[in-house]
Structure 1
Amino acid sequence: MASKGLIEAITTTQGVFFDFDGPVCEVFAGIPASEVAASLVDVMREFNPTLSEEMEGMDFMDALRISPRAGSDALSAVEDRLLEAEMAAVKVAGEPTPGAVASLEAAKASGRSVAIVSNNSAECVRDFLARHDLIPLVQEIVGRSAYKPHRMKPSPYSLLVAAARLGVSPERCTLVGDSVSDVEAAIAAAAKSIGYANRAGKNQSLAKAGANAVIESMDALADALSERPVR
């Protein structure tokens, strides 16, 4: 049975936004994220050894965020390397997250608009969806703005773009994401958020960040959407 928070989060939602890595698939299931991060450090070392040392041990998205400090050429090289890694990763990422396809189907069948809103590149998202015949379930894909990491979530930029493309007010959109930055982006956009706690401890961090609801399986979202058409 859907929780009160989940019901309230989707009852008036016209646009359902899915973060990609986590809710839809595990992008780096076949290629470890740590390897990707290390490769970005190697790229940065050619431009700014001091900054490359600072990047060591960072999540690769955080490494991308600070790369502009080394200049536009360094940013371009790091971004290009990350795109290359993402495109390789989605080819060996395996099947969609359990319940993801059902959630996409339920969102569309309920009369809601559906978008993927991700810090991953739109190219890798589109490639994965095409490989699994999911393109017809998604109306918009808003990925990372190339060479503009400041627009990544927790910035609300991608959510606002998706809402505008779909012709839906941000206040009537809900983002499903597995990170605190997803929740923060939704709050900044005046949208709702559903936290997907796919790892131990995420329930607390997502709730503390302000998620309207927290789920532990995507099937829970599919069931709730199936039971409640948009109004």
Structure 2
Amino acid sequence: MEKMKLYGFNNLTKSLSFNIYDVCYAKTAREQKDYIAYIDEQYNSKRLTEVLITLTSMIGAKVLHISSQDYDPQGASVTLLISDHSMIPAPETQVAHLDKSHVTVHTYPEYHPETSLATFRVDIDVATCGEITPLSTLDYLIGSFDSDIITMDYRVRGFTRSIDGKKVFNDGNVTSIQEFISPATLKKYDAVDINVYAANLFHTKMLLKEIDLQNYLFNRDAYEIAPSKRLEIIDNLRREMIEIFNGQNIY
């Protein structure tokens, strides 16, 4: 695509909110301990930082500063201050704040006392200025986590001007977030769009179609569980996912 010739700096701000829910079954004390070990491995600040650094590289930005924190018993937060444009390091260099953006990730553990389901939420927010768009990183983000439910919001704010002085409120031809997700990934999910085109607001939510119980257990063979109990666990998993997907209590 040919780049649009702009008058001065591109003042459009593009924000992506990417949220996943990882649901697991952990009933016994050993399984709950294994669950925490799994969270510490998959969602610790070191790994999350690596994910955000790769994301930053994918959108052509540069990391300026990293802040990270792990929590007890589980969970982490990471914030990256990034530059949308290449910079020449020098002691006297001054960079305006508008030349910077940020990427953040926060995690939220939650446990259901009756069904023994544990839900771990990961929120990633990417804010960029100018021509950079974070939508190209969606396949990478989805593949980086065990994503049972995914919700994504993309918004373009502000305006810039073309060389002839005309206001430009969106410099990209976006009709759906799903356009930036591979068909192979979309095939695994039920996906729904809720878009407000006049406001440059795009929302997509996705629900995993198939549940393989073994993927939701910790150091336990699914066939060690009685058939009726397996069906009960799968039913509880599906109910939990449906309610999270719809954002309301249904059952």
TM-score, normalisation: structure 2? 0.29
TM-score, normalisation: structure 1? 0.30
Task: Say which structure is richer in helix.
Answer: 1
Task: Say which structure is richer in strand.
Answer: 2
Structure of greater Rg: 2
